[in-house]
Amino acid sequence: MLWTKRLLALFLLLLAPIAGIQALTPLYKFEGSAPFSGQRWFNPFSSDTLTWTRANFHIHSRTWGGITNGHHSPSEIIRAYDSLGYRWIGIADYQRINSESPILLYEHGWSIGKVHQLCFWPESVRWWDYPLLQTLSAKQHTLRILRPTTPLLVIAHPRFLGSYTGRELSRLGGYDAIEVLNRYGDSIEEWDSALSSGHFTPIIASDNAHDVYNPHEVMSRWTEVAISPNAPIDSLRAALYRGRTVGYKNRTPYPLRAYPTFRRIELVGETLFVETSQPVDSLRIIGQNGHIRAVSYQTDKLIYSIRPADTYLRAEAYTSAVEAYTSPLVRGVPKRRPIPKIDWGWTGLHGLFWGGIAVFLIVAGLRLIRAKQNKQVQDRFLSQPLE
Ligand SMILES: [Zn+2]
């Protein structure tokens, strides 16, 4: 049964680098939750009038010789979204910065679990990833590696294959925003979990389109950014980081021509005023742990008196055609958890353990190969005719 031994040897030698990657992963000291607190509130939408520009930062073009999922060239993609009135278009290819993309970014990650991140305006592409096993520390380590390479690090589609759970997002540090709405899964609960833990994370919403000629793929989710259409890229960057965004989900199967926008999201003293450009079926205010704090039906206005227990507040609007989710207003400052400190003691033990397994796999794999070669030599020797 030489072939089974050969197969087993190959399997062991393939597992060895995976164990090696685990050995190189630090273990982090994750902090507990610290919900937003303070007397004053941070409102990203505090401005006289709100002007909205439409954006999609997650489109895949045809690249990597067609191996990855993406059907069209950058010019076809730009034409398709231009025709729908998009102001900001980002082609986020896998592991590649597309220089023809109006907004420069790429989608990081090649694991089977689809643990992906959108790296905006990156300095370079990072290839470090965990193909199979992704512990919380492994996810944190990837964010740590990406962090210095990008000014806006966005967790992509957490709900897609459960790549990031709400509990994980409530403990991880070093990310700037979450792609809450995505055609492959909307992650409202995961987002609320991150916000409830006291991590300021604005909303990004994207089609994640691979075929821009498919009307069901285009304008299914998008981000409205509260900046003027003539604003420079630096203003866009600041607006995304500060949370001047609203995520939209299209409830119809085709692109929309018109939909309500938020005309006013304003705090006056301890009262929050939310107003839409046209009446909607319902307006809601959501707070800590995703609990509904107020609802108003068939209206274009909602007035909410803030309670002492409120830590963050965000608004939602519903019509038969769309759902709209604003980025949050938070108590105190819009703080984000930094990358946690490394637990060097446990990291050492963990490294020894996985390093030992990697060595064992290599030795066992090589022994199997050698055993096979020895047997071949032995067989040849035995088959020699006796003189
Ligand atoms: Zn992805």
At residue 383, the pLDDT reads 61
How confident is the model over 4-16, as pLDDT tens digits? Answer: 888 888 888 888 9
For a pLDDT cut of 70, what percent of the chain falls above it? 94
Which contacts (CB < 8 Å, 24+ apart) does range 356-362 have?
A: 357/19, 357/22, 357/23, 358/16, 358/17, 358/19, 358/20, 358/23, 361/12, 361/13, 361/15, 361/16, 361/19, 362/12, 362/13, 362/16
User: In this structure, are 270 and 297 located in the same domain?
Assistant: yes
Cα(359) to centroid of ligand 1, in Å?
A: 33
110 Cα to the center of ligand 1, angstroms: 9
CA of 344 to the centre of ligand 1 (A): 32
**67 CA to centre of ligand 1 in angstroms:** 15
Dist CA 190 CA 180 (whole Å): 8
CA 307–ligand 1 middle distance (angstroms): 38
161 CA to middle of ligand 1, Å?
10
- What's the CA-to-centroid distance between 156 and ligand 1, angstroms? 6
Report how far Cα 210 is from the mean position of its chain's Cα atoms.
17
Q: Mean pLDDT in the chain?
A: 92
Residue 347 lies in a domain: yes
The total number of structural domains in the chain stands at 2
Residues 14 and 82 in one domain: no
Instruction: Say whether both 122 and 252 belong to one domain.
Output: yes
Residues above pLDDT 90, as percent of the chain: 78
Cβ burial of 113 (10 Å; 0-12, 13-18, 19+) is: middle
Q: Examine the domain organization and report whether 288 and 166 are in the same domain.
A: yes
- Does 216 share its domain with 98? yes
Kindly state whether residue 153 falls inside one of the protein's structural domains: yes
The answer to whether residue 258 is domain-embedded is yes
In a domain, 36, yes or no: no
Q: Which of 106-120, 203-217, 291-305 has the lowest mean pLDDT?
A: 203-217
Give the mean pLDDT of 323-328.
98
Q: How far is the CA of 347 from the centre of ligand 1 (A)?
A: 29
Question: Ligand 1 centre from 163 Cα, in Å?
Answer: 10
Residue 309 is assigned to a structural domain of this protein:
yes
> Is there a domain that residue 109 lies in?
yes
Query: Residue 386: pLDDT above 60?
Result: no
CA of 112 to the centre of ligand 1 (A): 11
Whether residue 310 is found in the same domain as residue 369: no
- Of residues 63, 76, 36, 59, the one with CA closest to residue 156: 59
pLDDT (0 to 100) of residue 375: 62
Instruction: Convert the pLDDT of each residue in 92-120 to its tens digit.
Output: 999 999 999 999 999 999 988 899 999 99
CA of 68 to the centre of ligand 1 (A): 11
CA of 317 to the centre of ligand 1 (A): 27
Task: Give 52-89 pLDDT, tens digit per residue.
Answer: 999 999 999 987 776 677 777 899 999 999 999 999 99
- The owner of tokens 């509990």 is 167
Residues 142 and 240 in one domain: yes
Distance 107 CA to ligand 1 centre (A): 7
- Domain co-membership, 157 together with 85: yes
pLDDT over 80 (residue 382): no
Q: Are residues 183 and 195 in the same domain?
A: yes
CA of 2 to the centre of ligand 1 (A): 41
Residue 82 lies in a domain: yes
Cα 116 to middle of ligand 1, angstroms? 5
Cα 60 to averaged position of ligand 1 atoms, centre (Å): 10
pLDDT of residue 144: 97
Q: pLDDT at position 88, please? A: 97
Q: How far is the CA of 235 from the centre of ligand 1 (A)?
A: 26
Residue 351, in any domain of the structure: yes
CA of 117 to the centre of ligand 1 (A): 7
Give residue 239's domain range.
Answer: 41-341
Q: Are residues 144 and 286 in the same domain?
A: yes
pLDDT of residue 374: 65
Give yes or no: residues 66 and 107 share one domain.
yes
Query: Identity (one letter) of the amino acid at 109?
Result: G
The backbone torsions φ and ψ at residue 123, rounded to the nearest 5 degrees and listed phi first, read -75, -35
Ligand 1 centre distance from Cα of residue 46 (Å): 33
Same domain, 131 and 242: yes
Report CA(62)–ligand 1 centroid distance (Å). Answer: 15
